[in-house]
Structure 1
Amino acid sequence: MPSTSRQIALIAFDDVQVLDVTGPAAVFGAANDAAMHRLGRPFYRMHILSPQGGHVTSNCGLAVVTASLASVKPGALDTVLVAGGSKQGLQALARDAAASAWLRRACARARRYGSVCTGAFALAACGLLDGKRVATHWEATAILGRKHPAIEVDANALYVEDGRVWTSAGVTTGIDMCLALVARDLGDAVANAIARRLVLYARRPGYQSQFSTVLAAQEKADSPFADLVDWIRTHLDDTLDVAGLAERAGMSPRTFHRRFTDALGETPARFVETLRLDHARTLLQTSLALKTVAAQTGYGTPAQLSKAFARRFGISPGLFRAMHRDAATP
């Protein structure tokens, strides 16, 4: 574990999204608890800042106590993260000339900087994201790209690292990104322990899509298909052919294929493959043998899994595992 402590600034403002502040703060706070056991002192020193300091009111009515930006010297900070919030709150932050100047100085000197959710708009307004690939909340990706054409907006990723710049998508993805920051600083063991402590289902890697295939399908599908989607998710190692799924839905195969495709926007076979390969990506980040991963995701052999995986993602399961193993397992 590194011997020097690092100062982190979380930037808030009136109408901030409270989880964009408290989520990252909880991760770094838990990292400090782990550091106390190993070093006898906290590893991170956190500053919750706002332009003028004092109480800022979040978009859910909770007040956050902050210090002023001017109270912290920009050159002292290791990491600077801007939280997201309402359009009005972000616009007010961007119009504040002193706050913008402070952000530019702090980010220029910091080892890394970035944003949670729509906090990317504040950084973009300061010119701090030009030429970078970034993430933001899925509802805002098109707007960010349109307003700031010098930025490459990744509309799918949970979070993106591009050089010194780290940006995350909506709300809870700030936790995922900060776990990755802690893993970079203190190692995967500490980050995984924090994920367990926070009772997270998994540490989600940045490449994972903001869009849950299951949730999106259940939102679009009518009631019979919503139930079927949930059943498919828990039976990926079954045969799951059109005939069997049609029987479960109480339809003829032809009617089922047509209605399912109309409702969900893709064929039953394509949908099943998507769920299987998404689950395979999660399992490949564990120590399970490829044969076991194939069996648990409904592929008869590792070769069949490898062919489908490479066709969808452009790399082999083995290469994917080498790149991402243990990144998402708490």
Structure 2
Amino acid sequence: MTKTVYFLPMHHPHRLFILAYGDCQLLDVTGPAAVFGAANESIGRTVYDLRILSPDGGLVTTNGGVALQSRKIGGQPDTLLVAGGSKGLPGVIARADVRRWLRRAAPRCRRYGSVCTGAFVLAAAGLLDGKRVATHWASCDRLASRHPELSVDADSLYVVDGQVWTSAGVTTGIDMALALVEADLGAATANLIARHFVLYARRPGYQSQFSPLLQAQTKAEAPFAQLIEWMQAHLDEALDVPTLARQAGLTERTFYRKFTEATGKTPAQFVERLRLEAARTLIAKDLPLKVIAGKVGLGSSARLGAAFERGFGMTPSLFREMHRAGPGSAAPLA
């Protein structure tokens, strides 16, 4: 299956609305907005007619104290995104006029979705029924409990299900916006914007919200952040307990105990997870499985396949087919 990229038409700008509200998350609005604004600059014309909307229009004060100028809800977007926010969510969900507008506008969009907990707003309007969606990891259980009619993906950075695009917490709105730009304008433009933003890497939607390195860094008792960085750079080498203990400057017994306490995984389990995360990214890039297995230290394609099924519940080949038909294969935009 060949990935197809469709380009936005020349005859009119693509209307892209972002719904904001009082106490919404500032970066949920400004992160995607900056990506679409950069797309306009890189193309040299107004590709995206970007508008910030709110229930009443005017100035909207976000959770960071920064006020955004907005237009009152109305009109028909081509793409509609809803920002997230904790304190502001109950108020916007309670607005019957917001729900009515969303129910009228969203189904007529080419695509609609949310950033972070904005999924709660769409779900309350009945626009996510039967869909697989993402939201911030801390709100996944609450969203699933409150709306059993949808399927919450608690792991992915963003999820595309038909015309519905939803992302996890805060900065993942930038990742999803870059994927939207790629679907509209091609990978070269999306990559140029990512480079301009000095991003470390473009993150695919299937990448986990739970970075092993970040988890280790956030545990107060974990002195292993530098070791894990070293492990990620040496996945094709032997990463057994003697090697890791020597790198950490600890005895093997002490290393095993402290590492397991700090990360919640044995060294072997942790190494396999790192290797599988790296393999998942490489598989989506169409490298041969044998080459990938060598790069991530799993030796052979058979060993890679067994570990991949154990970790992700599917074969590498199935995963590759699923993600070849990613966001760029969506229907052309008008």
Structure 1 length as normaliser, TM-score? 0.87
Distance in structure 2 (CA, Å) of the matches to 1:323 and 1:152: 18
Match of 1:31 in 2: 39
1:103 matches 2:102: yes
- Highest RCO, 1 vs 2 (Cα 8 Å, sep ≥ 6): 2
Label 1:117 to 1:12 Cα distance change in 2 as closer, same or farther (>3 A): same
Alignment of 1:316-327 (within 5 A): 316-321=315-320, 323-324=322-323
Question: Paired residue for 1:61, among 65, 70, 75?
Answer: 65
Please report how far the alpha carbon of residue 216 of structure 1 lies from its aligned counterpart in structure 2 after TM superposition.
0.7
Match of 2:84 in 1: 84
Match of 2:189 in 1: 190
Match of 1:2 in 2: 8
The one-letter code matched in structure 1 to 2:90 is: Q
1:244 matches 2:248: no
Please report how far the alpha carbon of residue 280 of structure 1 lies from its aligned counterpart in structure 2 after TM superposition.
2.1
User: For residues 191-247 of structure 1, what are the alpha-carbon distances to aligned partners after superposition, in whole Å with 9 as ceiling and x for unaligned?
Assistant: 222222222222211111111111112323624334432332332222111122223
Match of 2:49 in 1: 45
CA RMSD of aligned residues (A): 2.4
Give runs of ≥4 in structure 1 deviating > 6 Å: 325-328
User: For residues 12-70 of structure 1, what are the alpha-carbon distances to aligned partners after superposition, in whole Å with 9 as ceiling and x for unaligned?
Assistant: 1111111111111111112222333xxxx32211111111111111111111111111x
Which range moved further: 274-283 or 20-29?
A: 274-283
Distance in structure 2 (CA, Å) of the matches to 1:63 and 1:100: 23
Distance in structure 2 (CA, Å) of the matches to 1:203 and 1:143: 29
User: For residues 93-148 of structure 1, what are the alpha-carbon distances to aligned partners after superposition, in whole Å with 9 as ceiling and x for unaligned?
Assistant: 11222222112111122121111011111112212222221111111111111222
CA contact (8 A) 1:205 1:327 kept: no
Which range moved further: 185-194 or 169-178?
A: 185-194
The one-letter code matched in structure 2 to 1:82 is: V
Distance in structure 2 (CA, Å) of the matches to 1:150 and 1:310: 28
1:21 matches 2:25: no
The one-letter code matched in structure 2 to 1:66 is: S
Identity %: 58
CA contact (8 A) 2:216 2:222 kept: no
Alignment of 1:70-81 (within 5 A): 72-73=74-75, 76-81=76-81
Higher helix content, 1 or 2: 1
1:112 matches 2:111: yes
Label 1:287 to 1:95 Cα distance change in 2 as closer, same or farther (>3 A): closer
CA contact (8 A) 1:260 1:268 kept: yes
How many residues are treated as equivalent by the alignment?
Answer: 319
The one-letter code matched in structure 2 to 1:58 is: T
Label 1:54 to 1:139 Cα distance change in 2 as closer, same or farther (>3 A): same
1:135 matches 2:134: yes
Please report how far the alpha carbon of residue 253 of structure 1 lies from its aligned counterpart in structure 2 after TM superposition.
2.9
Please report how far the alpha carbon of residue 303 of structure 1 lies from its aligned counterpart in structure 2 after TM superposition.
4.4
